[in-house]
């Protein structure tokens, strides 16, 4: 569902109920441009879990790269020993 921000403001309680209880996703539009979304907590948790998995995958990949600099060397360069 897409709604203008002004309409959301006028019907906020209804929008929250539709998102929270009916599982709808509401795209907020300003001047015909999508600018934000209102999603259920379940959808947010799924999104955060996907981001966490992507971050972990990237971190594991970075650890395998050659040329990594140990933390001790970085601290020494910065005078943080």
Over residues 23-56, the pLDDT tens digits come to: 999 999 999 999 999 999 999 999 999 999 999 9
Rounded (5°) CA angle 10-12-16? 160
* pLDDT computed for residue 57 by the predictor: 92
Band of residue 80 on the pLDDT scale cut at 50, 70, 90: confident
pLDDT at residue 51, as a whole number? 95
Among residues 24, 34, 25, 41, which one has the least CA distance to residue 4? 34
Question: What class, spelled out in words, does domain 2-65 have in CATH?
Answer: alpha beta
pLDDT at 38: 97
Chain mean position to CA 81: 35
Cα–Cα distance for residue pair 33/11, rounded to 1 Å:
20
* Look-up of token digits 């209102």: 38
Q: Which of 24, 27, 29 minimizes the C-alpha distance to 43? A: 24
**What proportion of the chain, given as a percentage, has pLDDT over 90?**
73
């Amino acid at each position: 569902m897409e709604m203008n921000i002004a309409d959301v403001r006028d019907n906020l309680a209804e929008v929250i109920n539709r998102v929270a209880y009916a599982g709808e996703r509401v795209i907020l539009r300003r001047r015909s441009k999508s600018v934000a979304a209102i999603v259920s907590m379940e959808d947010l948790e799924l999104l955060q879990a996907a981001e966490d998995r992507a971050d972990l995958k990237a971190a594991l990949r970075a650890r395998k790269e050659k040329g990594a600099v140990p933390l001790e060397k970085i601290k020494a360069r910065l005078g943080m020993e």
